[in-house]
Amino acid sequence: MPPPTFVRSDVASPCISLCVLDTSTGWCKGCYRTIDEIAAWGGLDDAQKRAVLASLPARRDILSGSDDAEP
């Protein structure tokens, strides 16, 4: 199997090295991405990375129990 191809990007990873998955949502408690999003990150183009990043604030709100979070 060939090694994964990584895409050069100016979009930084949201990883903060707190890698613990929430069992009820499957989101990382540090960066709020799914394991699939984390694994794919290096191969995503900038538009795809921005789409993932756009979903993270709502996930953070849900995990933190924010009143602004949608169910």
pLDDT digit of tens for each residue in the chain (71 aa)? 777 666 577 899 999 999 999 999 999 999 999 999 999 999 999 999 999 999 999 999 999 886 555 55
* Calpha distance 21→10 (Å, rounded): 26
* Calpha distance 60→1 (Å, rounded): 36
Assigned token pair, 35: 């394991």
- Phi first, then psi: what are they for 46, rounded to 5°? -60, -40
Note the Cα 50 to chain centre separation in Å: 10
